[in-house]
Amino acid sequence: MAYIPVFLFHLVVASLCSPLCGTNNLEVVPAALTVPYVVSTTLRVSNNPVCLSVLRNEDLKEMLESNKESLKLEAMKRVVGLIAKGKNSSELFPAVVKNVASKNIELKKLVYVYLVRYAEEQQDLALLSISTFQRALKDPNQFIRASALRVLSSIRVPIIVPIMMLAIKEAAADLSPYVRKTSAHAIQKLYSLDPEQKEQLIEVIEKLLKDKSTLVAGSVVMAFEEVCPDRIDLIHKNYRKLCNLLVDVEEWGQVVIISMLTRYARTQFTSPWKEGAIFDENNDKTFYESDSEEKKEQTEAKPYIMDPDHRLLLRNTKPLLQSRNTAVVMSVAQLYWHLAPKHEVNIVTKSLVRLLRSHREVQYIVLQNIATMSIQRKGMFEPYMKSFYVRSTDATHIKTLKLEILTNLANEANISTILREFQTYVKSQDKAFAAATIQAIGRCATNISEVTDTCLNGLVLLLSNRDETVVAESVVVIKKLLQTQPTQHSEIIKHMAKLFDNITVPMARASILWLMGEYCERVPKIAPDVLRKMAKTFTAEEDIVKLQTVNLAAKLYLTNSKQTKLLTQYILNLGKYDQNYDIRDRTRFIRQLIVPNEKSGALNKYARRILLAPKPAPVLESAFKDRDRFQLGTLSHSLNVKAAGYQELSDWPAVAPDQSVRNVEVKEWAPLVGKTKKSKSEDKFYSDDEDEKEEEGSESSGSEDSSSSSSSDEGLFLSLFRDCGGLFRVSLQVTTPSFGPVKTYELLHHMTGKGLSAKYHFPRQPCLYQPSMVAVQVILTNSSDHSLEEIHIGDRSPASLNIHCFNTIERLEPEASVTVSMGIDFSDSTQAANFQLCTKEDQFSVSIQPAVGELLMPSTMTEEDFSKEQGKLLGMNETSATITMATANTSSQAIGKQVLSVANVGVVSSSQNNVHRFAGRTVSSGAVVLVSLEQKESCAALLTINTEKSVMASMLLRDLKQALAQA
């Protein structure tokens, strides 16, 4: 049975890849069988392993070729056992591969395991199995399809790349999300097998990114990260969807998505870290609860407004801090660290500290990240200081990290507690740790001047410790400390000189010698004596000590040559014949430098200035100082080395790129604003405070109507409005029957504006700032070659003109453009609003003259109401004229279109075919404006406008007449 498809497939392959035909032959097998075979150690049966190795091999082969399922299974289990131990069993390939089409699921799975392991080595034979998978790809059962694709894509045989590509494309369009998930995995495999397929694979990724299934999301983002991490443009349209799906994605997918979104956000949003955006540090909760208030405050007082998409990401990741998966918690923490406003980062602290109770390895990574964070933000972890206390049972690397963090957290207030804790550590049995503690004390001493003396005294006491490492470390640290403030510490230096004989650790001896030399003038009597002692033991010392002895000798020679001349010469002579060339070099150099003779050059004069120059004190700083160049939580951060495939986190852009790229068509995104809120709180397991508030709010008020009724929604709405006028337009079209063909007018030409050009249009939305204002959207474009700064609105005329300005645009890059919204109160007149558009350097007077139709807003009324209103507005308030329409405009649709293009009015449904009615109100005073058009024979029509604003009526009449006459 199994041979027939194999044979057929042979033909296929042969035609597919003719160069391989010759080798594509079963005869390869016997050669492989002759390879000497090492037997596993678990043989129980035989006494003669060598003999059995062949036997057993044969035996496995026989079993695999037998007809009994159980024998085959047994054989496969043993084969997999061999694979697990890393033993070679590749010569069984032909026997195993025959079973690929077996009905027994376990047998099949084991064959798959084998196939994936050895296919790369036995490419030709592996091809035999392909047809089975191709058939399985069409199976009605989704799991069989998925597993076929999984194995097919795991076989690393370059020849099947086209087959894989085809399978992936098909699977990406499969109805089952599980199969689509598998295809996302297969993308990465194919990519690593043949990177040339990149372009085609990106197409598949693009398609899969649009997938709405939570099952697929994680895997496809993984594929994205692997294949085309730089194609950030593919994410735009899926950004909001990913944010909203996030809580329901499986945990591993969450990690990948969060880290990708972190990178994305850094390229798309502006920095929330500006000084202006600092709030009350203490209440991190309020931001969530009173989102709307904050937003309002921000617009009035602060220039920075967080992009609602940015906020969306922060809000949707927050619940994941409670995940049981430590990797998820860490990735949310790093997201907050890199993206959240400074005052909000604190919320991750508690969760990170919680992770410290997890496995040792988890602790290690988390502590590394906390160490980096605690350098920049002490306050974040200070309340949890005690969680970083070292326990005797901690592993050494954990202890060192905790010590590091404690040192970072030390400040004037808590230093006494920390030093007391360090006390215990110094006496720890783990000497390496005790030494590290001494280093830490040294760092505390330099950082906090109040305790420098205390620490120094304590360290001096440690010099009499019996443990060498402790003493040595103390000496080294004292040396550094003395260097930072050498004023009155000759006592300590003397004390160290006394201890010198008992100290054997080379580094410590060298440090003392250096101190003697450096401050030899403070201890004029002792230093020569120490040199004398050193002269005696010079030959037996370590190299580092010898170097410092030479150094000391030279310095003493310069300051006190009377006493030390002979000693110095003796030491220099010893050094001249030392075995180590470094020491010989140094000796020669020093001799030339300090001992005057006829050959020595100009340097001799400066010897004193060279050797006894005041030296800058070493800075004792954290080993984690520069780790923040890496994204937290990454492998690179952990190793402090840029790992292969590390993606840099970009800096915030100065001006946010176009936000509207993330907009999606109505259907997909409309629920996002109004309805998702509701549905989310019902469907999802996680949601945050705000949701609940909202839910309660809307339930109690009982108003369930679609969009912006609920009060706490308003904040979100408001900001959406302001920033993404485009977005709102979409949803508005759903709620109001108004139709807005956008006519764009020029506000400022780039020639007059020195590169700044501005266009405006009326979005025909109700203005949010004040109901009496007309909303205007201005598109500012920088067509110059330099960036423009501080674009804002200056003086206006008439001075009483009520304008709601847009926020100052800090910076507009060349070729960039930005859309801003403003509101203007025209007071129902078509008088132009004049104002100045200013940049940092220039001011340009511009004016917006509204067409009369833009001063209206649509109002909905029934035909009955319309007639009633019309009845009230007769006589003086009625303007009418007979007009001639262009023939193209005679259909009711065309009439509607033309009228709406002129005026922002609403259509009133009409029972008469030949009468068209439109209703609106003036924006400022709210006066009713009624337009009715009665079609007469052919192209003539009677146009009537009823309103108390008679000036407007006549102007509107003129405009409408013109529009309807045009084709």
Partner 1 sequence: MIHSLFLINHTGDIFLEKHWKSVIGRSVCDYFFEAREKAVEPENVPPVLQTPHHYLISIYRGKLFFLSVIQTEVPPLFVIEFLHRVADTIQDYFGECSEGVIKDNVVTVYELLEEMLDNGFPLATESNVLKEMIRPPTILRSVVNTLTGASNVGDTLPTGQLSNVPWRRVGVKYTNNEAYFDVIEEIDAILDKSGTTVFAEIQGVIEACVRLTGMPDLTLSFMNPRLLDDVSFHPCVRFKRWESERVLSFIPPDGNFTLMNYHVSSQNLVAIPVYVKQSISFFETGPCGRLDITIGPKQTMGKTVEGLMVTIHMPKAVLSANLTATQGTYTYDLATKVLVWDIGKLNPQKLPNLKGSLTTQAGTPKPEDNPSLNIDLKIQQLAISGLKVSRLDMYGEKYKPFKGVKYLTKAGKFQIYIYMFIFLENLMSYLLFEWLQCVLKHSI
Shortest separation between residue 667's beta carbon and partner 1, angstroms: 23
Nearest distance in Å: CB 391, partner 1: 6
Q: State the minimum distance, in angstroms, from the CB of residue 462 to partner 1.
A: 8
What is the Cα–Cα distance from 747 to 760, expressed in whole angstroms?
A: 6
Q: Which is nearer to partner 1, 581 or 685 (CB)?
A: 685
Report, in Å, the least distance between residue 630 CB and partner 1. 10
Rounded alpha-carbon distances, angstroms, from residue 748 to 106, 519, 778, 796: 74, 73, 10, 15
Which is closer to partner 1, CB of 255 or CB of 758? 255
Write the single-letter amino acid at 759.
K
Nearer to partner 1, 645 or 794 (CB): 645
In this structure, are residues 929 and 906 in contact, taking their beta carbons and an 8 Å threshold? no
Shortest separation between residue 761's beta carbon and partner 1, angstroms: 42
Residue closer to partner 1, measured from CB, 247 or 515: 247
Cα–Cα distances in Å, from 100 out to 72, 128, 208, 528?
12, 9, 30, 87
SS3 758: strand
Q: Does residue 246 contact residue 317 with C-beta atoms inside 8 Å?
A: yes
The two three-digit tokens of residue 767, written as one number: 């203005």
Report the amino acid identity of residue 841.
E
CB 561 within 8 A of CB 549: no
Which is nearer to partner 1, 220 or 773 (by Cβ)? 220
Which is nearer to partner 1, 417 or 569 (by Cβ)? 417
Smallest separation, CB 696 to partner 1 (Å): 9
**Placement of tokens 């029957």 in the chain:** 737
**Which residues touch 740 (CB under 8 Å, ≥6 apart)?**
729, 733, 763, 764, 900, 904
Give 330 or 852: the residue with its C-beta nearer to partner 1.
330
Q: Quick one: 699 or 746, whose CB is closer to partner 1? A: 699
CB of 369 to partner 1, least distance (A): 9
In angstroms, give the least distance from the CB of 441 to partner 1: 11
- Minimum CB separation of residue 120 from partner 1 in Å reads 6
Q: In this structure, which amino acid lies at residue 512?
A: I
Nearer to partner 1, 439 or 932 (CB): 439
Residue identified by tokens 């009060």 is 711
Smaller CB separation from partner 1, 595 or 635: 635
Residue 312 in tokens: 């969306």
Minimum CB distance to partner 1, residue 944 (Å): 57
- Residue 252 or 279: the one with the smaller Cβ distance to partner 1 is 252
Q: Which residues pair with residue 884 across a beta bridge?
A: 940
Say if residues 380 and 349 touch (Cβ distance below 8 Å): yes
CB atoms within 10 A of CB 636: 19
CB of 269 to partner 1, least distance (A): 22
Q: What is the DSSP string of 276-290?
A: GG---SS-SSHHHHT
Closer Cβ to partner 1, 451 or 933, answer by number: 451
Name the minimum Å distance from CB 684 to partner 1: 7
Q: How far is CA 675 from the centre of its chain?
A: 28
Nearer to partner 1, 215 or 945 (CB): 215
Q: Containing H/E element for 575?
A: helix 561-576
| SS3 state of residue 242 | helix
Q: What does each C-alpha distance from 531 to 513, 521, 546, 862 come to in angstroms?
A: 9, 14, 11, 109
Q: Name the minimum Å distance from CB 424 to partner 1.
A: 6
ω into residue 798 within 30 of 0, thus cis?
yes
Query: Strands 906-908 and 915-922: what pairing?
Result: antiparallel
By C-beta, is 454 or 709 nearer to partner 1? Answer: 454
Q: How far is the CB of 896 from partner 1 (least distance, A)?
A: 46
Q: How far is 550 from 313, CA to CA, in rounded Å?
A: 63
What is the rounded CA–CA span in Å between residue 824 and residue 815? 28
Which tokens sit at 273? 């870290």
Contact 823, 923 (CB under 8 A): no
Cβ partners under 8 Å of residue 391, min gap 6: none
Query: CB of residue 885 vs partner 1: minimum separation in angstroms?
Result: 58
CB of 872 to partner 1, least distance (A): 52
* Min separation Cβ 36 and partner 1, Å: 19
The answer to whether residues 188 and 163 touch, using CB atoms and an 8 Å cutoff, is: no
CA distance 933 to 279: 57
Cα–chain center distance at 332:
10
Choice between 214 and 954, CB closer to partner 1:
214
Comparison of 77 and 840: residue with beta carbon closer to partner 1:
77
Q: Please state the closest distance from residue 407 (CB atom) to partner 1, in A.
A: 16
> 732 with 740: CB under 8 angstroms?
no
- Radius of gyration in angstroms for the set of CA atoms belonging to the chain, rounded to a whole number: 41
For 383-411, b/e burial (b = at least 16 CB within 10 A) is ebbeebebeeebeeebbbbbbbbbbbbbe
Nearer to partner 1, 140 or 875 (CB): 140
| Strand (E) or helix (H) holding 569 | helix 561-576
296 versus 642: smaller Cβ distance to partner 1? 642
Q: What is the 3-state secondary structure (H, E, C) of 906-932?
A: EEECCCCCCEEEEEEEECCCCCEEEEE
**Count of alpha carbons within 13 Å of 43, Cβ hemisphere only?**
17
**198 and 227 in contact (C-beta within 8 Å)?**
yes
